[in-house]
Chain A
Amino acid sequence: TRAMSITAKAVEEKLAQSLEAQSLDVTDTSGGCGAAFEVSIVSSQFEGKSLIQRHRLVRELEQVNEALKVEMASIHALSIKKCWTPAQAAAAA
Chain B
Amino acid sequence: VRAASGGMNPELKTTIDELVNANRVVVFMKGTRQFPQCGFSNTVVQILNQMESPYETVNILADDRLRSGMKEYSQWPTFPQVYINGEFFGGCDIMIEAFKSGELKEQLEVALNA
Contact = CB atoms under 8 A, between A and B. Distances in A.
Real complex partners, A and B?
A: yes
Interface of A: 51-52, 55, 79-83, 88
A55 B91 CA distance: 10
Given A81-B97, A83-B97, 19 more contacts: A51-B89, A51-B90, A51-B94, A51-B97, A51-B98, A51-B103, A52-B88, A52-B90, A52-B94, A55-B90, A55-B91, A55-B93, A79-B93, A80-B93, A80-B97, A81-B93, A81-B96, A82-B97, A88-B101
A51 B87 CA distance: 12
Contacts of B93: 55, 79-81
Interface residues of B, number: 11
Interface of B: 88-91, 93-94, 96-98, 101, 103
5 contacts: A51-B90, A51-B103, A52-B94, A79-B93, A80-B93
